[in-house]
Structure 1
Amino acid sequence: MRLGARMVPFGGWLMPVQYTSIVDEHQTVRNAVGIFDISHMGQFIVSGDGARDWLNTMLTNNVAKLDVGQGQYSFLLNDNGGVIDDLIIYRIGETKFLLVVNASKIEEDFAWLQRHLREERSSDYPASCQVTNRSADFGGVAIQGPR
């Protein structure tokens, strides 16, 4: 606030969305560096045997192509192939993945994933495959720009 932040409510958070002009901030990120607090976003851990294969039924991209430490942009789809949310998925272990979802969709996304895992567990995915909402446990910072 002391630096002139324009604050707006979003997803239950009060967020600084702008400090100077939109054009100035855009140019700074494109030509230098910008830092963004993304602590408001949701974080889910999907882990266990079958996690990779199960995520491939829920998301648009092939998570099997991710090496440990890599991430990719993807979409969480509904039963008709429509988009529920966009997200970033990171492979943080051989059988462990981190999904970073939008703040306004945390509860909906988590409920969707839990329901589908529960329904599909008996037929295709072992009991060790689980999804955990860790949103309250993590903060986050995005650093963007060429410098």
Structure 2
Amino acid sequence: MTTMVKRTSLYPLHRTLGARMTEFGGFEMPLSYSGIIEEHRVVRSAAGIFDLSHMGEFELRGNAALAMLEHTLTNSAGHLADGQAQYTLMCAEDGGTHDDLILYR
């Protein structure tokens, strides 16, 4: 069985910029460009981007949303003001971790 690897909308730009690509999470993503030293220099002197378009997004609403987040995440979600974000982990029922995520309010 052949699995189709997906590509983000930035894939053509990654290729134009000479990215060395690899499969990650079902997507063909850039692993590196010209090398770590040169990439560091460019980011420090100009700009850099990180293609997050392969990552999922979901929105929670309703009276039970905060309670579900407080039960599931390692950080408290209740103290976030509108426009704030925090890095956190989503816990699994067995005590492990489903994934890391950024929670926005």
TM-score category of the 2 structures, normalised to the smaller one: 0.7 to 0.9
* Match runs of 1:21-32 below 5 Å: 21-29=35-43, 31-32=44-45
Is residue 65 of structure 1 aligned with residue 79 of structure 2?
Answer: yes
Is residue 40 of structure 1 aligned with residue 64 of structure 2?
Answer: no
Bigger share in strand: 1
Is residue 9 of structure 1 aligned with residue 23 of structure 2?
Answer: yes
* Match runs of 1:31-110 below 5 Å: 31-32=44-45, 33-91=47-105
Q: Which runs of 4+ in 1 moved over 4 A?
A: none
Deviates more, 1:10-19 or 1:65-74: 10-19
1:75-119: per-residue Cα shift (whole Å, max 9, x none)? 01122432221111101xxxxxxxxxxxxxxxxxxxxxxxxxxxx
Question: For residue 19 of structure 1, what is the aligned residue in structure 2?
Answer: 33
| TM-score (normalised: structure 2) | 0.75
Aligned residue identity for 2:63: D
- What 5-or-longer segments of structure 2 have no aligned partner? 1-14
May I ask how many residue pairs the two structures share in their alignment? 90
Distance 2:16 2:98 in 1: 37
Distance 2:97 2:34 in 1: 33
Structural RMSD (CA) = 1.6
SS in 1 for 2:60: strand
- What 5-or-longer segments of structure 1 have no aligned partner? 92-147
Alpha-carbon spacing, 1:26–1:82, altered in 2? closer, same or farther (3 Å): farther
Aligned residue identity for 1:74: T
Q: Could you tell me how far 1:8 is from its partner in structure 2?
A: 1.0
Distance 1:15 1:85 in 2: 19
For CA contacts below 8 A with separation 6 or more, give which structure has more relative contact order.
1
* Match runs of 1:117-136 below 5 Å: none
Share of identical aligned residues, percent?
48
SS in 2 for 1:65: coil
